[in-house]
Amino acid sequence: MTSLTRTPSGKLRARGIGLTFAGTPGPNNTITDVPGVTVGYETLIEGDSVRTGVTAILPRPKQDLATSVFAGCHSLNGNGELTGSHWIEEAGCCDGPITITNTHALGTCRDASIQWLVTHLGVSGWALPVAGETYDGTLNDINGFHIKPHHVFAAIDQARDGPIDEGSVGGGTGMICYGFKGGSGTASRALTLANTAVTLGVFVQANFGLTSQLTIAGIPVGQHLAKAHEDPERGSIIAVVATDAPLLPHQLKRLTRRVGLGMGRSGAISGHGSGDLFLAFSTANKTAHQNGDQLSNMQFIPDALLDPLFEAVIQAVDEAILNAMVANEPMTGFKGARVEALPIKQVLNLMARS
């Protein structure tokens, strides 16, 4: 098996259990297929109550993190937080590490990202790094405030390219998706636009949905897996879309609006209490962000050619969510709470009978 079917730690991915998806994945089917993009995790599993962590996504190599990338963001349902989003809406760019964690560690991650920039890159002005969150308080003692700055530094320092782990790692450690163990998931698509080969990658922290809503390849498997009574949905998702396609901020915002369509493929409705927040960035046009008094030049793909990228977002989001669930295992945590992993054999049997 290859990185398309297994994670570096050996867990099966969605393709590894025989699920098929439209589109052509990148070499590892991860957000790190986008050149220059790296991902790092710091995972905290301690005692009976600590089930949390930090994910760091670096849009550029560490030495270039202070150089902005064009960006866009979108809130499908706003019960959550994505720091720096007001500036992204205003200026169409962001810089620094992108971190994802639990709801009550958001500020720690944001502040620690600034500390890292000051310490390692000598940033002396101001910084508004992006930090996102979802709630892990069922499995994790979220009010224990276990995430400290050194955990954030570790996630950033450990960022790597190539295959990356999925499931209960990093910020996704304590997350639940469609009633089963969720967390960190990723996927990518390789395509050609304007006679240029480009890559689009997606990373999700999946923490949403009711079991009865779960749909795989158009088959409503969750209706056969759900308990007689389900509590109202209280979950969320953070999605980060990366591409080396030369896109302008308004085009990147258009990509983020397609994330919800990818969620819908797996059955999500983006409920009232959900925090479904999305970010997209492009690693292209690096020199466009240099300060100076001269006109800047940049490339961009015409709007009329964006449809394949829209489709790639939808495909990759759907697959990333399922990867987060498949590459997982049961977890017991805070106050004895237990969340089972997706019952893969039962799911495959249901799909075979449909």
Question: What is the set of active-site residues?
Answer: 236, 274, 276
Pick from 119, 122, 130, 150: nearest CA to 57: 130
Report CA-CA distances (Å) from 159 to 61, 155, 275, 306, 346: 9, 6, 26, 30, 35
Q: Dig out the tokens for 317 from the structure.
A: 């989001």
- In this structure, the chain runs to a length of 354
Residue 217, Ramachandran bin (φ over 0: left; ψ between -120 and 50: alpha; else beta): left
State residue 33 phi and psi, 5-degree precision. Answer: -70, -20
* Cβ contact 95:69 at 8 Å: yes
> How far, in Å, CA of 101 to CA of 136, rounded?
9
Quote the tokens at residue 213.
């809503």
* 81 CA to centre of own chain: 14
Q: Which residues of 175-210 are buried (b: 16+ CB within 10 A; e: fewer)?
A: bbbbbbbbbbbbbbbbbebeeeebbbbbbbbbbbbb
Check the CA dihedral 257-7-348-338 and report its sign: negative
DSSP state of 172: G
Query: Which H/E stretch holds residue 118?
Result: helix 106-121
- The residue with tokens 């989003």 is 85
Report DSSP letters for 212-263, one per residue: GG--BTTB-THHHH--S--PPP--EEEEEEEE-S---HHHHHHHHHTHHHHH
CB 326 within 8 A of CB 17: yes
Quote the longest CA-to-CA distance of the chain.
Answer: 65
183 vs 164: CA distance, rounded Å: 13
